Amino acid sequence: MMSSTPHTTLIRDEALRLGFDFVGFARAERLNDEARRLEAWLRQGAHGRMAYMENHFDLRIDPTLLVPGAKSVICLGFNYFNPEKQHDPEAPKISQYAYGQDYHLVVREKLNQLLAYMQAQIGAIEGRCFVDSAPVLEREWARRAGLGWNGRHTLTIHPRRGSYFFLAEIICDLPLAYDDPIRDHCGTCRRCIDACPTEAISPEGYFLDASRCISYLTIELRDEIPAAFQGQTDNWMFGCDVCQDVCPWNRFAQRHQEPAFEPHPDLLQLSRRDWIEITEEVFGAVFKKSAVKRAKYAGLTRNIRFLFPEEPAG
């Protein structure tokens, strides 16, 4: 077996070859400080109706319970930034991350390839791959692995690429050379706080009331969107990019190079009227392999009706 440094270099090089934009390594250990913050967040009900956030608390804060004998958390970032906008400025908006195919599937396939490569090149390794689909506190691991700091909007910011990237992890029992965290560079900036249409970010930042977040309201919430938010959701029908759009660090964002994240040819061309009148057939064609499938046709049309209550379909 080689020492941890050659292992680390080998993994980093292969991850970059597979299309990941950056890679970092953190020691697998219990997250005691983060456990206290998570408890406080849950006590305040900031998770809204996302009851699953209350489940598997111990797994969320201790990677060795997810992978017995875990030594390392390999953290990876995959860019999805696409500066193209929907052609009709009055059309209901969709978050960039959902333009193309479902990132869970696209990124997981690359993670599986990376883990298989590690096992073939290094030897027997116990590991599991995660991409926003298991009880993993991915932003804290990304911070510890030096991928960026967690900004006032609570998203991870990379100093040379901004925040438009997916996070993914491999938790494994292989010792590696670990990176140092990056210090916070938000300074006195409050743009994300001031720009949030529903005031979901606390006045000081670094705390998100998810129950007020437009992404939660349009994706996670299964009930009707509360009438109190009428006129406050800034024309978003699926997700929201406001806090990222205004972040000065995203001036460094570069367009992604992943073909699977290219939007369906019709997606950006649909007009406001097209969205109001969207049929289940069109929904199925445009979002065939998209993360928008999570909301289903009924969920998306609910969101559109909320935006345009006075404009009946048809």
**Catalytic positions, written as ranges:** 132
Residue 300: partners with Cβ closer than 8 Å, 6 or more residues away: 237, 238, 278, 283, 292
What φ, ψ does residue 72 adopt, rounded to 5°?
-140, 150
Does residue 151 contact residue 192 with C-beta atoms inside 8 Å? yes
Tokens 């938000």 sit on residue:
186
Q: CA-to-CA distance for 204 and 101, rounded, in angstroms? A: 35
CA 245 to chain centre: 15
In one-letter notation, the amino acid at residue 224 is E
233 phi-psi bin (left φ>0, alpha ψ -120 to 50, beta other): alpha
Place of tokens 């908006």: 93
